[in-house]
Structure 1
Amino acid sequence: MKKEIHPSMYKITVSCTCGETYDTISTRDSLKVEICSKCHPYFTGKKKILDKGGRVDRFKKRYAQSGGTYKFTDEGKGTPDMEEDTEE
């Protein structure tokens, strides 16, 4: 192994904005993160669905222009319902 080519390793504490801290080893001397497993919605189970800019409405409008219909189920997942032309 060549000497003096490897970066220096530091024992650091990673700090999250929620207040949680983790100890790890890194080539950086400090690390601050905005979100961690203690505050991320995926890990906490507190999902928030944000519809910024009316994405669902824009999708419905665009899909309606194509001539198809879209049925939404109770789970929020939709299934396209388009008639296919089978001319042979």
Structure 2
Amino acid sequence: MKSGIHPEYHEINIVMTDGTQFTTQSCYGKAGDTLRLDVDPKSHPAWTGVQRMLDTGGQVAKFNKKFAGIGMRKS
């Protein structure tokens, strides 16, 4: 291995969505930093099998609201 080209590998703390914590090794941040997860296996529908509606308006509704007046001519 070439020296001086590899990132520093150190211990960091991981905080899951439910508040549980564990320590692992990573190249993220500095030694002792904390990484707070927004999505993890305890909350993601792919692992839990439970769907939650996060976006109540939807992408099409947002688009229609934003561009509703475009293309309409005023008399």
TM-score (norm 2): 0.51
Higher strand share: 1
Stretches of structure 1 that go unaligned for 5 or more consecutive residues are 58-88
Q: CA deviation at 1:5?
A: 1.9
Counterpart among 22, 35, 42 of residue 39 in structure 2: 35
Query: When the two structures are superposed, what TM-score results if normalisation uses the length of structure 1?
Result: 0.46
Q: More displaced, 33-42 or 48-57? A: 48-57
**Could you tell me how far apart the structure 2 residues matched to 1:4 and 1:50 are?**
44
Compute the displacement of 1:42 (Å): 2.6
Greater relative contact order (Cα < 8 A, sep 6+): 2
For the 8 Å contact 2:41–2:47, the answer to whether it is kept is yes
Structure number with bigger Rg: 1
* RMSD of aligned Cα (Å): 2.7
Q: What is the one-letter code of the residue matched to 1:5? A: I
Pair 24,53 (structure 1): closer, same or farther in 2 beyond 3 Å: same
Alignment deviations for residues 40-69 of structure 1 (CA, whole Å, 9 cap, x no partner): 233222212466326799xxxxxxxxxxxx
* 1:20-57 superposed Cα distances (whole Å, 9 cap, x missing partner): 32432211233221121112233222212466326799
Cα separation, 2, equivalents of 1:6 and 1:51: 41
Q: Secondary structure of 1:13's partner?
A: strand
Contact persistence 1:20–1:38 (CA under 8 A): no
**Percent identical:** 37
Gaps of 5+ in 2: 62-75
